[in-house]
Each structure stands twice: as C-alpha cells, then as structure tokens.
Chains A and B, each alone.
Chain A
Amino acid sequence: MNRIERVSRRGFLGTAFGAGALVLGVQMNEAEGATPAWMPSVYLGIEPNGTAVIVAHRSEMGTGIRTVLPMVVADELEADWKKVRVEQALGDVKYGSQNTDGSCSIRDFYDAMREAGATARLMLEQSAAKKWNVPVEECKGQNHFVVHAKSGKKAGYGELVKVAATLPVPKKGEWKLKPESEFRYIGKEMPTMEQADHTRGAGMFGIDAKMPGMLYASIERPPVLGAKLKSFDDAAAKQVKGVVRTATIEGFKPPHNFQALGGVAVLADSTWAAAQGRKKLKVEWDLGPNGSFDSAKDKAEIMAKAMQPGKVVRNIGDVDKAFAGATKLHEASYYVPLLSHAPMEPPAAVAEWKDGKVVTYAATQNPQAVQESVAAAMGIKKEDVTCHVTLLGGGFGRKSKPDYVCEAAMLSKTVGKPVKVVFSREDDIKFDFYHANAGMYMKAATDEKGRPTAWLQRSVFPSIGSTFDTTAEYGQEFEMGMGWVDLPYAIANHRAENGPHKNHVRIGWMRAVAHIYHAFAIHSFVDELAAAAGRDRVEYILDLLGPDRKVPIEPVGMKYWNNQQGQDTYPVDTARLKRVVELVAEKSGWANKKPQKGRALGIAAHRSFLSYVAAVVEVVVDDRGRVTIPRVDIAIDAGRIINPERARSQMEGAAVFGTSLAMMGEITAADGKIVQSNFNNYPVARITEAPQMTNVYLVPSDGLPAGIGEPGVPPIAPAITSAIFAATGKRVRELPIRKTKLV
C-alpha cells in the first residue's frame, strides 16, 4: 500500500515550491511490518497562488509521460489543467525508480498518482469545511475550487492552502477516489505540455545545456571494444584554432557496464574546433581479442549454434516423441542483425566537477544510473552527483546508459572546467550499446489441419547480461521472458531453448528489446505454417490461440519475468490477444482484401510489456522488388489508457520504428570495428519509406494499465514479411528485408 505524507518544501526540492505551499509525498508500496525510511516518490504541491505543481520524476523522450502522469494527479485533485505546472525532478533515490524504460511508468505510478491527488483534494475540502464551519462531506473539490452546494459558497484552491497545509494528512479510507464517470482528464485526449515549445525551437535538450566557462569535447574512443590506448600524438590537434588542450580518459575495467569507453579527448571553445582538433589526433591502439570480430562469421556461428541443442527454458509434453511420430514436419531459421538506437539527438551531457562533487545536465532516461555511474567513475558518493534531467531528443533505451555523462564528468575533473560531451552521429552509431543480433531455429509437427502438435524453438544471441557480467552467455530471465518462454498457443508439446553466445560489442536494450527477434521468428513461423496448411492467416492465428484462457507460464530454471508482475494480476490471456486480432482484421478489411500479385496484407499479434497488440500491414512490391507500405492498422489492448491521443502517437511511431528495423536497419563489424557511421549507411525510415498511414484502434478497457511505448514495435516486422510473402511468394527469413531479392 502507498503511504502519503506531508513533506517539507525545503530540503532537496527547495526551489520547486513557494512558501506556504501544501506539499505531499507518496511512498510507493510500503511493505507491511518493516517500515523503510520515508522516501516519497511522487510529489504534488499546491502553491498559495493556486498553482498545482506536479513533479515529473520520469524522463520525457517523446512518449508524453511528462504530461500523462500529471493528468492522473490533476484528475483526482480536480485541478484546472491550466493551473498545473510540471517540474522535472532531479535524479534522487527518494523517487524510487526513475528509469524511464520498460513501458512501465503508468503501470507503476497510476495508483500512487491518483491517491496523491485524492488526498490533496480532501485536505482542501477539509480546509474549506473549517472555513465555512460546515461538514466536510458537503464540500466538493471541483475544477480548482471547493464548492459548498447548500450555501453556494466557493473558494479557490489557493486560498485554502494555508489551512490545508496545517491539517493532518488523511489516511487511506478517509479519502475517496473519483468514480470513472467523473474523470476529467483520465481517458481524455490531451495535448502534451511541450507541443508549443517544439514548434518554436524552445525547450532544453541535453545538447542545448550550457554551463558557464565550459569546454566542448570531442573524443577519439577505442575503435574495438576493450582496445587499449598504445600511444597518441596531439601536436597537430593542439595547433587547431580554438583547441584548448587534450586529455585522456582511462579505459573501463570489465565488465564495461555504463563506464566510459576511454580514449583521447580534444577540448575546445566550440563544438566545431573540438571536432577539427580530433581529426588531427594520431592515435594507436592495441585492439585486443575483439579485434578479430567479424559479423559474417558471427552470424554463421549463431546460426550453427541455433541448430544445436540449447538450454531448455520451457518444456510442455514431449516434443521429441511427437516429432518422431509425426508425418509432417516444418523447419525454418531466422536472423535479425545488430541494430543501433540512433535517436535524433545523439548522447549529450554537460558536467562540472567541483570540490569533490559533480553537477550535470544530461539527456538521460535514468538519472539515478547517472548518479551511480558517475560516482563510481569519480570515486565519490552518488549523493554527491546532482543530475538535472533535460528533455531527450529520443531515447529508445540508448539514454538509459550514461557512459557519455561519465566522460563529461571525468574530463571536467581533468581540465578543471565544466565539459560538454556531444556524440557526433558517427560516434553514436559506432559506440552504441547495440540491440543484439539473434538467430532462431523453429521446428513444428502438424496434424491434418496444419495445426502444430509439437513446436520447438531455439534462440541464440549475445545477452544484455554481458554488459554487467563478462561471463554471461545465455539469455537472462528478462530476455527469455520477452516473447520466448510465454508462447500462448494451444500446443500439446512445446519446448523453448536458448543457446550460449559471447558478445564482442556492447549489447543493450532497444525499444521492445528481445521481443523484436523473438516475435519475428515466432510470427514468421506461424505465417509459414498457415501458408503450408493453405489456411487464412487470421483464422489460423485464432485457432492457434485456442480457447479463451489464461495460460500459466512455467519456465524451466527461472521465473517468468512478466515485466516483474504476477501472473495473477497480469496473466497471459488468450482472449485479449484474440480480441485484438479480430479487431484489427475487421478494421483493416482483411476479409475483403485477398492477396494480389504485388499487393497484399500481412498480420502478426504479440503480447509484450503486458499489452496485447495485433498489426495488419499492407505492402506493395513493385516489379523491381521495391517495397512500400501504404497502410498499417494496429489494435492494442493496454488496459486502461490515460491519454488515447498519446497512445495513438506511440503506435504510429512504433509502426515507423518497426519498419526501419524490418526494412533497412543493420549494424555490422569488420576487424572488430563497426562498419556503419551515419544515416547514409545506417538508414532509418524517411517519410517516403515509412507507412503512409497508420490507423490505431484502442480496446476500451478499465483493466490494469499496461505498456504503450514499446509493444507496438514487435508485430511490425513479421507482419511486413507476412505481407511480402502473400504478395510475392518470397519468404524473408532474415532482416533487414532489403538484403533479400524479392523479384
């Protein structure tokens, strides 16, 4: 249960609230019995002038979370949205997790936000009751006023704050949440706070942050993961006008975690001078064991391992016995390459080391990871790292990993001035934490109707675990939990396996993470089985999902990750998956749009981040094999949706993100070095390549909130290849699609 208390407006929030404000904090999910320290994670304050200040502790990178969480508080508070101000929180463990990834901000904070709002509203009502000497039950908070209907009295929230701030904080049971019928903002279409700023070039991103007297750094990093600096000559670099000095950054100690990679930095009075100076550096590296890493060989190794028995992670029935007795067997292998996040704003931060402490302004998804990583790099306490969170020009998971903030802090200590680090696009693409490349082997036996009686699936990929543990070679519990051990189909014999693989570059999570390759293999294989059976793909998927039921997921040797939620609250529910399939089929006109040569629909349906999504993609393949996507239809059941407008925009964006990775995205390495460098050789979808129109259908629901930011991504790639097969007869088993000749 959540605990709500009044907190001092002073202390670490000092500047956020004015004198006399009513400020409430909420402690999330307080454990029964053992009372931990008072560490509230949500702050809501009402200023004497009536302004409701809501502290956003999560990062805004385009999902709208800085607007959507405050909407929940404001609704229960009965606040006038025009009188709400959102303050961005510093990084602080007091907020609980601030890591803005995993599509969980609403899920984790919906209740706490409502309770904070309802508590404050009751205190304002109590204040009014005292003032008018009437029973509190007769006072009602309404759009920033407390109203006493009997007498017609009305008082603004601002004038009630002074007394409200002296009242004891009501306990659970005293305040009441609003009935859904009275929701003012929840479930309503609301523009995000930043829309106007974004049309004027206003709003501070990480790359825009400045500190007085700062130097701009451009860093020559080790070209191969783990390469050591042998020698460097900076004489010519120092001759460049504007260059102030050079400085080395020590290489990381394994595991690399979020540490700085190391290298040689050129510091100058402008971004341009620093970049020019860097070009004049002569640096020699000892490349080390990863210097022989080659993507073609790596892919061959992964695909070979996918043919070998791996570690069993889920086992139902007896797949081997069923295969032995089967008359019809199907096999296929799939491959997804390394991918780079490539947010439009590359990693950027400015930091100052002063008197043993660090202050930074950073485009970060995780300010507490900034505190921890910078503190570890500098040998100080994390409390001595102050992290101001700027707006993020996209994140997609890259900006959860604060190596770039460590670089800025380390350089600041060396040079004695604030230092700004901005990755060039080449730096961004060559020094990413890459989305893992993965190979999947699938095998099924089918009955006379083409339904699988046995299904084996095996995946091999370098694990994100390798970022934190150099010995990690198997998929972690969370990676296996992402669309691999939770196959929801009604199949009597099923085994899921995972094989080992070592990383040779930094591996990290990217929007939708392991769901991307798992969904590609599973739904492509479903599509192949449906085609082999000569059945309609929608009808086949519905049949495969079987009767409406909650599928208990019992993996072998691990828990079912399930986004760290119980299966009692967030079960794998086939009825919900079937519903989005039926909805998207209906809305896309599936039944009446039979495949034609060169034009067809494809479909895939996938549960991720506790949400259920089905996508229908229409492709046109011209006589030269070029693919365009006139239309995408996406249906999502994400439980209760706070802001349908932003849910739609996330689905539209996911269709484009999914198109980029399906059609064109690929990172490769040769001699340990990343080959790609910029948008010319790491293309992402442009307006001409993106789906022309994405229609989104939100399943109305008052169920528990689930993810929005990521779950739109996984079904897109397999739906595109499903459509390509229907339009051309060509089965694409490897991404990106552009590598397969379609005519």
Chain B
Amino acid sequence: MIQLKVNGSARKFDGDPEMPLLWYLRDVLDYTGTKFGCGAGLCGACTVHVNGDATRSCVTTMKDAAGKAVTTIEGLGAKQEHPLQAAWKQCNVSQCGYCQSGQIMQAAALLKAKPKPSDADIDSAMQGNICRCGTYQRIRQAIKIAAEVKA
C-alpha cells in the first residue's frame, strides 16, 4: 500500500507501484488539470510539485511518490491565487491552454528557488516545457510580472 499526500489530502494506492503518478492523478483521482504530452519526460505538460520540486509526473512512478506530498495545478492556487496565475491572465498567455498547467507549475518552482529570475534563469527552467501554440514570449513576460522584475 502506497501512501502519499495530494493537494493536502492523504491518499492510499494499492495498484501497480510502477504506474506513473500522472495516470494516478488523472485516471484515479480525476485531477485532469495535469496533462499527458509525451510519456517520456520530454515536454513538461505533466509537471507537478513533489515535495515542492517541479517533477514530470509521467516518468515518476507511484513507488517513487510514496510518502511524498504532491501538488497539482488544482492545488497550486487553491487557497489563494498564485501570482503566476494572475500574471498568466494579465498577459492572456494561453492559446489552446493544454500545456499551461505544466508551464505554471514549472514556473512556480522556479520562482520559489529564484524569486527574481534572470532571462537565462527563465530559459533554463522553462526549456523542458513545450508549447506547440508558441506562447513562449508571453510565458516569459508573465513570469517577470509575477516576479515583479522588469520585463
């Protein structure tokens, strides 16, 4: 039996310990805000926080998530809207919107580690997250607004 916390709630899982966290979140818990994009840690659409770190849930097994605290996009601004969520709206970042959960979770981890990121910091943190619609310049802009650094 695997025990973990998801968005603050204690959960138990007795299925395949090799199942990626992504499918547990989506298929079992119905946290569908976390998206599937590649299944191989190549695109970042499935990014969640595991013990606060940005993590690709598509290549993180339930076994590896055992005992950890997982936060999904649904949990990020549950109590109070995250500044990134406000900045995303301000910049009208999203087009199709599919990758944006992962983008925001990745950016939230960046701001936690580096509250005032440089352009290079942003590029380095965000290069694992693909947006096929091509919203990158607004993502960069929104991160700067949320961090209150000069855009």
Contact = CB atoms under 8 A, between A and B. Distances in A.
Interface of A: 60-64, 191-192, 194-205, 207-208, 210, 216, 241-242, 270-273, 276, 342-346, 391-396, 422, 424-426, 645, 649-650, 652-657, 678-680, 684-688, 690-694
B35 A195 contact: no
Given A199-B100, A201-B34, A272-B23, A344 B130 contact: yes
Given A216-B27, A345-B98, A688 B74 contact: no
B77 A686 contact: no
A693 B37 contact: no
Contacts of B30: 210
B89 interface: yes
Nearest to A275: B39
A61 B96 contact: yes
Contact of A344 (B39, B88, B92, B132): B132
A78 to B, nearest CB: 25
B38 A679 contact: yes
Nearest to A651: B134
Contacts of A346: 36
B54 interface: no
Interface in B57-115: 72-74, 77, 84-85, 88-89, 92-101, 104
Q: Which of B88, B130, B137: most chain A Cβ within 10 A?
A: B137
Given A207-B35, A272-B19, A343-B132, A393 B96 contact: yes
A578 B94 CA distance: 32
Interface residues of B, number: 58
Given A196-B89, A272-B23, A201 B74 contact: yes
B84 to A, nearest CB: 8
Nearest to B73: A201
A321 to B, nearest CB: 46
B148 interface: no
Interface string B22-34: 0100111011111
Given A200-B73, A242-B16, A654 B134 contact: yes
B5 interface: no
In the A-B complex, the 5 residue pairs with the smallest Cβ-Cβ separation, listed nearest first, are A201-B33, A656-B134, A393-B98, A62-B96, A198-B97
A62 B97 contact: yes
B97 A680 contact: no
Contacts of A207: 32, 35-36
Nearest to B81: A199
A273 B129 CA distance: 26
A64 to B, nearest CB: 8
Contacts of B139: 687
A392 B85 contact: no
B140 interface: yes
Interface in B6-54: 15-16, 19-20, 23, 26-28, 30-40, 42-43, 45
B20 to A, nearest CB: 6
Contacts of B16: 241-242, 272-273, 276
B42 A687 contact: no
Q: Which of A62, A276, A688: most chain B Cβ within 10 A?
A: A62
16 contacts: A198-B100, A199-B77, A199-B89, A201-B73, A201-B74, A207-B32, A207-B36, A272-B20, A343-B98, A344-B96, A344-B99, A345-B96, A391-B97, A649-B95, A649-B138, A679-B43
Q: Which of B27, B72, B96: most chain A Cβ within 10 A?
A: B96
A92 B20 CA distance: 39
A317 B109 CA distance: 64
Q: Which of B101, B136, B138: most chain A Cβ within 10 A?
A: B136
A394 B133 contact: yes
Contacts of A197: 97
Given A200-B74, A242-B15, A653 B32 contact: no
A391 B131 CA distance: 16
Contacts of A194: 94, 97
B36 A422 contact: yes
Contact of B123 (A208, A650, A678, A687): A687
A271 B25 CA distance: 11
A425 B99 contact: no
B92 to A, nearest CB: 5
B3 interface: no
A201 B27 contact: no
Contact of A685 (B97, B99, B128, B134): B134
B126 interface: yes
B32 to A, nearest CB: 4
Contacts of A203: 97
Contacts of B28: 270
Contact of A425 (B19, B26, B38, B85): B38
Given A271-B27, A425-B38, A678-B38, A690 B134 contact: yes
Contacts of A685: 134
A270 B27 contact: yes
Given A191-B89, A202-B33, A391-B96, A652 B38 contact: no
Nearest to B141: A693
Contact of B40 (A61, A241, A271, A680): A680
A374 to B, nearest CB: 24
A199 B128 CA distance: 19
A687 B133 CA distance: 12
B144 to A, nearest CB: 13
A222 to B, nearest CB: 21
A192 B93 CA distance: 10
A687 B140 contact: yes
A684 B100 contact: no
B28 to A, nearest CB: 7
A688 B127 CA distance: 6
Given A272-B23, A422-B36, A678 B95 contact: no
A649 B96 contact: no
B45 A344 contact: yes
Contacts of A653: 95, 133-135
Given A203-B97, A657-B134, A425 B40 contact: yes
Given A680-B40, A690-B134, 19 more contacts: A64-B95, A194-B94, A200-B74, A201-B74, A202-B33, A241-B16, A242-B16, A271-B26, A272-B23, A276-B16, A344-B98, A344-B132, A393-B98, A649-B138, A652-B134, A652-B137, A679-B43, A687-B127, A691-B137
